[in-house]
Chains A and B, each alone.
Chain A
Amino acid sequence: DGGITQSPKYLFRKEGQNVTLSCEQNLNHDAMYWYRQDPGQGLRLIYYSQIVNDFQKGDIAEGYSVSREKKESFPLTVTSAQKNPTAFYLCASRHPESAAGANVLTFGAGSRLTVL
């Protein structure tokens, strides 16, 4: 079945360490997104990519980095510069406008990062 796979599901990080969250999709979608969710808050956009080898900052990009070397993969690195990284991270991809279900976002199951 097509979908989005995020790993790991749970991740613990010591202060000062960089960590990378994986996001893989087999939906053949061009656009992919990373969101951050904090308790009692809505999702906030970190980075997005419309196409391979291109990505743009979202509303809260500071302390994060991404790459998009393959269509299927959009990994997110949480760097030591991110002051409050403990959160639930969600990856999504978007159905193209020409397809059925156009512009619907499909989400992965999320990765929960805790800084010790």
Chain B
Amino acid sequence: DAKTTQPPSMDCAEGRAANLPCNHSTISGNEYVYWYRQIHSQGPQYIIHGLKNNETNEMASLIITEDRKSSTLILPHATLRDTAVYYCIVRVEAAGNKLTFGGGTRVLVKP
């Protein structure tokens, strides 16, 4: 999969927006950006994905830069339950249908 780079950790204040960056400078044309999160040792939870356009759903917004070399996941109003490890994953067609997880960003939402 195309490599992604995320900060290892970040803190966020409860009720504020959390902006999680991800660099994927080697991404190419048809590769999708996916975001998952993992709370404690639970199964990874799908958040959102996109190709070129910005996307929004009930959980988050995904902003992808025009050159697609980076993206930002936005949690609009972080709650304590959003404390988790967030993974940015670029899916590569040539890599088959597996997901390759990196280390992610450990997000701590503080009261």
> A and B bound?
no
